[in-house]
Amino acid sequence: MFSARVPASTLGRRHFLQALSGGMACALPGWALAANGLWMPSEDLPLTPTQTEGPFYPETAIEQQMFNDADLSQKMTGHELAKGQLVVVNGTVTDRRGQPLAGSVVEVWQACASGRYNHSRDGENPLLLDNNFQFWGRAITAADGKYSFKTIIPGKYPGRTGRHIHYRIDSPQHKRLVTQCYFSEYGEDNAKDGIYRQLDAKQRQQVTVELDKPADAAQPWNGAFDIVMAKA
């Protein structure tokens, strides 16, 4: 069996399924079996590209907010849900060798479904503010480097066509990473987005989340956004 140190989304679904069916003897392009019995990348993984933090990071630090958990879709259990398409974004934070980075602080912030941020600098935005939406969240990676957020697909707003979630990750002995993730469902919008277009083709692929949409429309969409950090 594979160790949890190798996230399936990093291996790629096809290669991961081949590995499970073929056992240790199967060949994984770009991966090698280490002396400790773990599959490790034979070359360093590409770093997650950095992107602008933008002007809308919360004015009060996320860890100091009254509502700051990993469920942005409602402010507390039983509270009315935010408007918009629910989505669960999960992933694994690793170093360039594929080792999970436990205890990493993953912060996110975004616009609500209408396309407005809960920020004074967005005060002249005529779009409606969704007071049931949390707008930001915070998670700590587990021993296997994993994190998860439940939120909604953010709306477009003046100046940005790509629907995106802002990320800021802090991990011991690693450089702070500020980036953004986008969604494959909105490829045409992404292609017109000036920030997204600054990335090359491989980098765009790294920050674009492929979505799985359950047949039951009441269930959230799902996608994986894995993050690779650089040493400090």
CB 151 within 8 A of CB 165: yes
Q: What is the pTM assigned to this prediction?
A: 0.83
Question: Is the pLDDT assigned to residue 72 strictly greater than 50?
Answer: yes
> Which tokens hold the place of 183?
């969604």
Q: What is the DSSP string of the chain?
A: ---TTS-HHHH-HHHHHHHHHHGGGS--TTEEE-TTS-EEESSPPPPPPP----S-S-SS-GGGSSS-SSBTT-SSTTSPPPSS-EEEEEEEEE-TTS-B-TT-EEEEE---TTS--SSGGGTT--SPP-TT---EEEEE--TT-EEEEEEEPPPPBTTB-S--EEEEEE-TTB--EEEEEEEGGGHHHHHH-HHHHTS-HHHHHHHEEPEE--SSTTSPEEEE--EEPPB-
CATH 2.60.130.10 fits 44-228, yes or no: yes
**165-188 tens-digit pLDDT:** 999 999 999 999 999 999 999 999
**Overall residue count recorded for the chain in this entry:** 232
- In this prediction, residue 33 has a pLDDT band, given cuts at 50, 70 and 90, of low
Burial of 77 (0-12, 13-18, 19+ CB in 10 A): exposed
10 Cβ neighbours under 8 A, 6+ residues apart: 45, 92, 94, 98, 226
**112-153 tens-digit pLDDT:** 999 999 999 999 999 999 999 999 999 999 999 999 999 999
pLDDT of residue 137: 98
Q: Where are the domains of the chain?
A: 1-43, 44-228
Q: Which among 214, 162, 165, 157 is positioned nearest to 186, based on CA atoms? A: 162
